[in-house]
Every structure is written in structure tokens, then in C-alpha cells.
Chains A and B, each alone.
Chain A
Amino acid sequence: MNSDRHLKELLPEKPSELKRNLSIFLLISIIYASGSFTNFSLSKLLGNLKEGADLLDRMFFPPDFAYAKRLLLPMLETIQISFVGTVIGSFFAIPIAVFSARNISANKSVGVFFRLFLNLFRTIPALVFAAFFASVFGFGSFSGMMALLVFTIGLVAKLTYEAIENIDPGPLEALTAAGAGQGAIFRYAIVPQVLPQFLSYVLYSFEINIRASAVLGYVGAGGIGEYYDRTLSFLKYDKAGTIVLLTFFVILAIDLISARLRARLI
């Protein structure tokens, strides 16, 4: 009894939960408001469930396996487009990330400029980039590659500069104290700390780019995307299902490979 009272007296005042409760309330309100704004209705969702199931049935039971053969080359092209776009885009993302990171940026206003630029960049959908490049370079895989490249810069640079901002500043300080210059500090204190994350962002964006190339088909950007366009506009759902399955396996394979790679890097 006595010690109980002691504990109470010693305990610091309980922190207020007002802020947390307000946040939860706000979040629920936002979700509710968005739902009513988009005319979301549970009954409509459930009522149309059967039609959705029908479509899935036509797509996958069974898919058109014979069609898969014809898809292999375009799939390869999609992988190529995505790969080149990812690699080149990631390469250009590096200096942009370095200029954007607040903790290492040489110049404050340069950092503000690059971060603004990145945010602007990321609000533009890949499809818009594709349309833009198609109008510049004409329809085809080059325009698709350029769209993915630019999209990759935005994604990888943003994630990487955030990773750079979260590194341990200790080694930077130690190398500065040892008389190292900017380049050596980058190489020996920053790169080792962000390399695993950077590479996993690159792999992640490779996956996204393969999926995105389906959409890019609509602007004639080459690869598997065109086949989506063809099959869906002719209501060949079994063929579209085959494309979905193939894409799924490719992404699964990339995911497995990147999991392996990441495990070795960390």
C-alpha cells in the first residue's frame, strides 16, 4: 500500500493523448470525406462483385497459353526498355540526390531548387512523359525508354536523397577531420552507408517500370504494352489474362533476384 502511493508520487505526469486522438479523428474524417466524394458505396461494390468474378473467370480460367509464345519477344523488349531506362535514370539520379540532400548539399539554394524540381517532376505521371517523348521522338520503344528514364530519375533521386539525409554524420566528420576532400568523403563515408538502399531503390524502380510499360503501350511506346491495348480493345480477356500472368512471373523473378541481391548487400 505504502509503496503504491510512493510510485504514484514518483511517476511523472502522464503525457497528453490529445494530439494522438486528434490525429486519429482527422484521419477518419479524411477517409470518410474521400469516400463520399468519390461516391463510394459498399452495396455497389458488393453488387458488382459477380461481374468482377465473371471477368476474372474469362481472363484466367483458362488463360490463352498458346498466345504466350507470341508475347515472349515483346516481353523481352519491355524488359530491355525498362532495364535501360532504369539504369540510365538511376545514374542521373545520383548527382541530383547529392545536390538535394540537406545534410551534404554544398549550397542551400541549390538544394531547395533540386528538391522543388524533384517534387514537380514526381507529380507528372509516366504516361504524360511518354506522350511528350512520343511527340518529340515519335512512337516507339525509344520514347518509352525515355519516359521510364525520366520517371526513374524522379523516383530514385527522391528516395536516395532521403536515405542520404538519414546517414550517420559521424564518419563524415571523422573524414573531414582527417583532411579528406569532398570527393573522398562521398566515396568513403556516404557511398558505403547508402549503397544497399540505393540499389534496392533501383531494383524497385525496375519492377515499377516493367509494370508501367503496360500503360505506355497506349502511346505506342513499344513492348508488351501494345498487346494490352490490342487485346483489351477487342475484349480478348483470355489473352489479356495471359499478359497479366506473364508480367506477374517476370516481376516475381525480378523480385526474387533482388531479394537475393539485397540480402548479399546488407
Chain B
Amino acid sequence: MELLEIKHISKVYPNGVRALEDVSFTVEKGEFVSIIGLSGAGKSTLLRSINKLVEISSGEILFEGKNIALARGKDLRLMRRDMGMVFQSFNLVKRSKVITNVLAGRIAYHSSWRSILGLFPKEDKEIAFKALQRVNILEKSYSRADQLSGGQMQRVAIARSLAQEPKLLLADEPVASLDPLTTIQVMDDLKRINRELGITTLVNLHHVDLALKYSSRIIGLREGRLVFDGPAKDVDDSILELIYGRQLLSNEIFGEEHEQ
């Protein structure tokens, strides 16, 4: 069975912007899919619809066969727990320690009272430390998040989503605020996690060649419509023109000089 089924979803924001129009696709377990498109094409809206940070206007999103639009309260929280999310701006609590940030990924495993009181069981701490180790930042466990560099913060954010032990990882432009070198490290981390833990990964990317390099499958969005869905190796100039509507600007190509 498919992990994720997107069926004819559309999103109209209250201000009338049609961010998604009749988008459909399915994602199998273990895939690493990149979503590409111009800024404003609807990539973030699509990703955020999947965990219901954005409520879609019509269509259906099935995660493990369950319709997330119908999920409320605890059911919704449990579905969200199974989907980790990584953001462009990391979204860590900067004043809190790294380990506290990562443990936040365990919240949905416990009753509200237990997590509010900070009573995380020993196993949770082990899971959190393991997650930090997986992204090679274990030694920063007790540092405050605001003492880290951008790349380190993003790795902590990835560790937080790993602590959720998710089945799906949603990454919304995870490297857009990073320098070229850390970009490669973070993309490598995401790829490794996908391979080693088998976590299905959906990542929005601004840079076409990163998408082509790291993912097996590309989804192209243009003005809210899905205009391409296929293997990365099928993406050629004509398809890029279909997605971007014109020749690419140099800042939309990550650039070979950065890739050693």
C-alpha cells in the first residue's frame, strides 16, 4: 500500500490566492522525492497540507490510508507524530538546550501532563541521543541551541524529527539558509536517513541540481499545478522549461563549483 496518497487537492487561501490546483500523486514507502518549482509555485503549501498545518480546500490526503482532513484532536496529533517536519528556518527553541529541543519530538508519545512536567522516560532520552548521534552532533547535546551554527541547528532540527520515529519526513527548503558546504552535509544526512532508516522523504528544493543529485523522483509544480512527476533521470531542459517556464537563472542552479 502507498504511504501517502494525494488526491485532487486544491487550496485557496482566504485572500483568494489559488496556491494548489487539482494536485494528485502517490508516494511509496522508502522513496526520496524532491518537489521543485519557482518561488510561489505552491511547494510549501503542498508540504504543509500533508500534516494539516494548512487545511486544503478540496480533495483528499490519505496517510497510511487515513484521511488527515477528518482527523481531530488526539487522532490528528498521532498522525502528525508519524510525520517529521524540517523547516528552512530550523524552528528550534533557541534558549533551550539541544537535548530539550530534540526531546520535544517525543511529546506526542505521552499524555499531555507527563510531557508538560518534563517526565520523559529514560528510553526517550536514549532515542534523542541516538538521533543526535545519527546527524553527528551528539557532542552539542547540552549546548544552548542559540550557540550553534546554521548547519548545526538544522541537524538538531532533523534530530528532533527523527526522535518522533516518523514514517514520513517533510523537509521544506531545508538548506535554503545554509552555505554551500553545510548544504551538502545536511542533504547527505537526509539521504542517509532515508537509506538507513527507510524513512520516506519529501523535500522542497529551490536548487534544481540538488534535487536531481539526491532524489530518485522529481515532482514539478508550476503555479499550483503539478506539471511533472517522474524519475530524476528523465528531467531535461524541456522539462525544466515546463516547470520554470523559462531558462533557469544562475541562482536557481546550485552551481558546480560548490560540489567539489
Contact = CB atoms under 8 A, between A and B. Distances in A.
Contacts of A76: none
A192 B77 CA distance: 22
Interface string B17-53: 0000000000000000000000000000000000101
Interface stretch (A62-70, A169-177, A242-250): A169-177
B53 A168 contact: no
Contact of A174 (B77, B83, B113, B160): B160
A193 B53 contact: no
B145 to A, nearest CB: 10
Interface in B83-123: 83-85, 87, 89-96, 100, 104-105, 107-108, 112-113, 115-116, 118
Interface string B197-222: 00000000000000000000000000
A192 B93 contact: yes
Given A170-B87, A193-B93, A178 B105 contact: yes
Given A168-B94, A196-B95, 15 more contacts: A168-B91, A170-B87, A170-B90, A170-B92, A173-B53, A177-B51, A177-B83, A177-B84, A178-B107, A178-B108, A178-B164, A184-B112, A188-B100, A188-B104, A192-B93
B116 to A, nearest CB: 5
Most buried by A among B76, B81, B95, B113: B95
A175 B112 CA distance: 13
B183 interface: no
B81 A192 contact: no
Contact of B104 (A170, A173, A180, A181): A180
Contact of A193 (B79, B87, B95): B95
B12 interface: no
Closest 9 CB pairs of A and B: A179-B108, A170-B91, A179-B81, A174-B91, A179-B80, A179-B77, A177-B85, A180-B107, A171-B93
Interface of B: 51, 53, 76-81, 83-85, 87, 89-96, 100, 104-105, 107-108, 112-113, 115-116, 118, 157, 160-161, 164, 170
Contacts of A196: 95
Contacts of A177: 51, 53, 80, 83-85, 170
Contact of A171 (B80, B91, B113): B91
A181 B116 CA distance: 10
A177 to B, nearest CB: 4
A147 interface: no
B65 to A, nearest CB: 18
Most buried by A among B77, B91, B115, B160: B91
Interface of A: 168, 170-171, 173-181, 183-184, 186-189, 192-193, 196
Contacts of A188: 93, 96, 100, 104, 107, 115
A264 to B, nearest CB: 13
Nearest to A265: B95
Most buried by B among A170, A179, A184: A179
Contacts of B92: 170-171, 174
Contacts of B78: 179
Contacts of A187: 115-116, 118
A187 B116 CA distance: 6
A68 to B, nearest CB: 43
Contacts of A176: 53, 80
Contacts of B115: 180, 183-184, 187-188
Nearest to B170: A177
Nearest to B92: A171
20 contacts: A168-B91, A174-B85, A174-B160, A175-B107, A177-B80, A177-B83, A177-B85, A178-B80, A178-B81, A178-B85, A178-B105, A179-B81, A179-B108, A179-B164, A181-B112, A183-B116, A184-B107, A184-B115, A188-B96, A193-B95
B242 to A, nearest CB: 31
Contacts of B90: 170
B214 to A, nearest CB: 22
Given A192-B95, A192-B96, A173 B87 contact: yes
A183 B112 CA distance: 7
Nearest to A177: B85
A171 B161 CA distance: 13
A178 B84 contact: yes
Nearest to A187: B116
A180 B77 contact: yes
A181 B107 CA distance: 8
A177 B54 CA distance: 11
